[in-house]
Structure 1
Amino acid sequence: MATLDGLPPLREVIAEHGLSARKALGQNFILDLNLTARIARAAGDLTGTDVLEIGPGPGGLTRGLLLEGARHVVAVEKDARCLPALARIAERYPGRLTVVQGDALEIDPAAHLTPPVRIVANLPYNVGTELLIRWLTPSLWPPFWSTLTLMFQKEVAHRIVARPGDEAYGRLAILAQWRTAPRIVLELPPQAFVPPPKVSSAVVHLEALPRPRFPARAATLERVTAAAFGQRRKMLRSSLRGLSPDIEAHLAAAGIPPTERAEQVGLEAFCALARSLDGEAADQERDR
């Protein structure tokens, strides 16, 4: 059966290399090359762009990224069984694919990437959220990447784009929407994967903003939202009490009623609260 890139269909690749998906690695493969091409196109124009891919598996999305014109793909793969299949793709696209074996949580791929950089991945379910938070919270902003186009469980995708008052609204929405413009661009049923997961999935595209929407220190905003949503059923004057003995004064300064609950508070107000708390910390430092 012919494919656009002249490489074998993914079912043949998986059979040849014995690449049965492993639950311990969070693997669920997409075998439809038309679908992987759609995901690649959702990342935008890849011409002249380096792409970081996490968990390429047998290389379906990798092939889509290269077909869509990515200048260079850096694919980080933990499963050594996948390396021969990826090596064959590298042979088909000389100089355009670098495969790095290892754990994406422990590897810094920056040495292999030249800006502009986009990150595109069908993320392993077991590390997806942790990787996203790392990419959203670097010490310097703008980050090394311009966009993220990532596959998540549908529930996680809705948490990223949720608004105040939504059941899914929480810390992940705050962190994502503070520094990026996120939107869901594609939803996939379990049947799109092999083996089919128990849940539906969705692709989220996040575009890095040149600067955060509202001023705040990242560390303080993370601390505030972790406390607020860690006890989301409590009023904020209770859930945030550990942050300051004068928390009600800080809530008032940010325009937040002390009886409000976290899921009703918008991004701008959380940033104002973070600034107020940092002001208190600066005053205490000067008084020493």
Structure 2
Amino acid sequence: MVDVLVIGGGNAALCAALTAREAGASVLLLEAAPREWRGGNSQHTRNLRCMHDAPQDVLVESYPEEEFWQDLWRVTDGNTNEALARLVIRTSSQCRDWMRKHGVNFQPPLSGALHVARTNAFFMGGGKALVNAYYRSAERLGVQIRYNTPVHALELHDGEFVAALAGSERITAKACVLAAGGFESNREWLREAWGENARGEWPADNFLIRGTRFNQGVLLKFMMDAGADIIGDPSQSHCVAIDARGAAVRRRYLYSRGLRIAGYCRESRRRTFL
């Protein structure tokens, strides 16, 4: 039995696995996707928005906590958790050294892009390089990694984790971290969240999924049904214009916007972060 079982294979899961391993725990990470598609939607990101009070390596000028908070307040119309948001904002100023220790490289400010270099640190090689760096570090530190291992349910006792169920296999651990993503690729759940319009149409039927096809929300639904506390809005999304001729679920491609913080933004409705 391992000390910590991490379910998921993206940025959050990898950071949890690395942190637990650094603390001396034995760690097993289960990724639903095959190795070539590992990383979830983290492989499609490209930058990290960072608070800083003075110029730093790849960040110019300053971007203090209060300005970051006001930006977040405006983009969410005030619909956010201030205590949680400020915690994320403050922590954003401290994480780059840890990320570098695990092999993540940051891109120097580019000419003509200094306006974003004040607020955002860009990953050299984008999200795919970020994910690959974390996996290399995890392997080097002795984190056990299993691909093609989707977990469909958990065994709980009095609200505490006992085991994860993956196919016919029962995997036990002393503690479990769920970082298995949302339901971005679950068409039926998207229909439920976005509803029907006045013409009797389902807008979600026209969504082109630009990220991973493995985020089906299986464990999210399981935990909701088990009575876990929930936060946020199921109609949150990060919507952008893409080629309408594209596949219903996208594979690898480039796009121009990165994630700004640890949450998605509803850009076609009232917007909510965190």
The answer to whether the superposition gives a TM-score over 0.5 is no
> Which one has more relative contact order, counting CA pairs under 8 Å at least 6 apart?
2
Which TM-score band applies after superposition, normalised by the shorter structure?
A: under 0.3
Q: Larger radius of gyration, structure 1 or 2?
A: 1
TM value normalised by structure 1: 0.23
The normalised TM-score by structure 2 is 0.24
